């Protein structure tokens, strides 16, 4: 989609100090907050001495203090009572069942309502859109949510214009992204508004290899990552969390909410390869990056991507690239390159 600029958004970005607040709760998906905040922080650091925009980031929860969340990590938060007027409010994705969060986090709904009513810039990630829609301020306005909750969302909020085919929606200063897989694109755009287009271009190039490269077509004929099956996209994200881990199909299917047979069928249909083939190709992609950018030995590179037998690693790598790992490293390092400065 094409994101439109508007006067309300420009007004919210006009001050030098930019305040960002994230509403946290125990059932949130951590990456739906940490990724946007890391992109914003990276953009602020990239600006350096050439600009005057400073960033203030704070996370808030009902009682404040250390907040343990479903993934097993804990985050430091301030109490909701300390939340004052902010420029950007981030509403994180909900882990699993949104309805139980709606019952428990009514104070979040109130704060979101106040912020949206004041015209504040708002970003809702995935099923966090339930908290946003619960404010009753999105009647007749465009929203999206995680594909798994389309029907439940439409049933609960019939007056909202649910965009099932859009990964990102905008309604004045309110943005919704369908999942964590899409939030990077929105944050790069917002970096251009908050800081400058120059900084946005820089942060996009810095974060692309980590958060977006795997969703681009590969010149080596790797499987198609540019597809519209969000269930498969989420499964791909899980597979890529640790390339050293073997495929655990039963666990992966359970976390996706479908049978192993259904996941296998949909994965092959969306990507063109099986789950095990996909993981193998992504391991070899990462191996190429490590050979190009590090001084790890060939054996260490193989182990780093989950292929512990050096002979098997060399043989598999050559089948893909036509070169042994050592020959590949020699070839790519003979090509001169230089790191460009931040463009003017």
Higher per-residue confidence, 173 vs 229: 173
**Residues contacting 136, CB < 8 A, separation 6+:** 113
Using pLDDT thresholds of 50, 70 and 90, give the confidence band for residue 215: very low
> Mean pLDDT over residues 22-33, rounded?
94
Say how far apart CA 189 and CA 317 lie, in whole Å.
Answer: 37
| Digit-coded pLDDT (tens) for 276-302 | 999 998 899 889 888 877 778 899 999
CA atoms in the 13 A half-sphere facing the CB of 221: 4
Q: Does this model's pTM top 0.75?
A: no
Does 144 have pLDDT greater than 70? yes
Distances (CA, A) of 173 to 36, 176, 225: 17, 10, 30
Q: Would you state the pLDDT for residue 131?
A: 97
DSSP code of 49?
Answer: G
Q: Are 41 and 109 in contact (CB under 8 A)?
A: no
Q: Are 136 and 116 in contact (CB under 8 A)?
A: no
Q: Which residue segments constitute the domains of the chain, with CATH numbers given?
A: 7-206 (3.40.50.880), 214-333 (1.10.10.60)
Distances (CA, A) of 303 to 55, 243, 319: 39, 10, 18
Say how far apart CA 244 and CA 242 lie, in whole Å.
Answer: 5
Q: Would you state the pLDDT for residue 216?
A: 31
For the chain, the average pLDDT equals 82
The residue among 290, 279, 281, 280 whose CA lies nearest residue 326 is: 290
Using pLDDT thresholds of 50, 70 and 90, give the confidence band for residue 333: low
| Digit-coded pLDDT (tens) for 225-253 | 666 788 888 888 888 888 888 899 999 99
Q: Would you state the pLDDT for residue 16?
A: 67
| Digit-coded pLDDT (tens) for 83-142 | 988 999 999 999 888 999 999 999 999 999 999 999 999 999 999 999 999 999 999 999
Say how far apart CA 280 and CA 224 lie, in whole Å.
Answer: 14
Using pLDDT thresholds of 50, 70 and 90, give the confidence band for residue 217: very low
């Amino acid at each position: 989609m094409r994101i439109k600029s508007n006067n309300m958004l420009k007004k919210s970005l006009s001050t030098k100090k930019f305040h960002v607040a994230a509403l946290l709760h125990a059932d949130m998906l951590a990456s739906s907050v940490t990724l946007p905040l890391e992109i914003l922080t990276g953009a602020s650091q990239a600006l350096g001495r050439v600009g005057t925009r400073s960033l203030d980031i704070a996370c808030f929860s009902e009682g404040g203090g250390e907040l343990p969340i479903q993934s097993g990590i804990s985050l430091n938060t301030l109490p909701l009572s300390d939340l004052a007027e902010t420029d950007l409010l981030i509403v994180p994705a909900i882990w699993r069942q949104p309805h139980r969060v709606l019952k428990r986090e009514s104070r979040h709904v109130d704060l979101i309502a106040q912020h949206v009513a004041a015209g504040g810039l708002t970003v809702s990630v995935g099923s966090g859109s339930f908290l946003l829609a619960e404010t009753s301020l999105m009647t007749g306005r465009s929203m999206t949510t995680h594909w798994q909750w389309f029907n439940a969302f439409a049933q609960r909020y019939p007056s909202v214009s649910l965009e099932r085919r859009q990964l990102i929606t905008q309604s004045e200063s309110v943005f919704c992204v369908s999942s964590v897989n899409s939030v990077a694109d929105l944050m790069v755009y917002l970096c251009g508004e908050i800081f400058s287009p120059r900084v946005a271009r820089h942060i996009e190039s810095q974060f692309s290899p980590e958060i977006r490269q795997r969703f681009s077509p590969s010149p080596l004929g790797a499987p198609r990552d540019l597809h519209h099956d969000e269930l498969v996209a989420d499964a791909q994200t899980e597979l890529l969390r640790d390339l050293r881990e073997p495929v655990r199909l039963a666990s992966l299917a359970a976390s996706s909410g479908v049978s192993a047979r259904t996941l296998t069928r949909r994965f092959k249909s969306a990507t063109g390869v099986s789950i095990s083939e996909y993981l193998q190709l992504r391991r070899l992609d990462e191996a190429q990056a490590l050979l190009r950018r590090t001084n790890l030995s060939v054996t260490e590179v193989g182990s780093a991507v989950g292929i512990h037998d050096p002979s098997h690693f060399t043989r598999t790598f050559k089948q893909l690239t036509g070169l042994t790992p050592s020959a590949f490293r020699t070839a790519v390092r003979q090509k001169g390159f230089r790191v460009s400065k931040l463009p003017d």
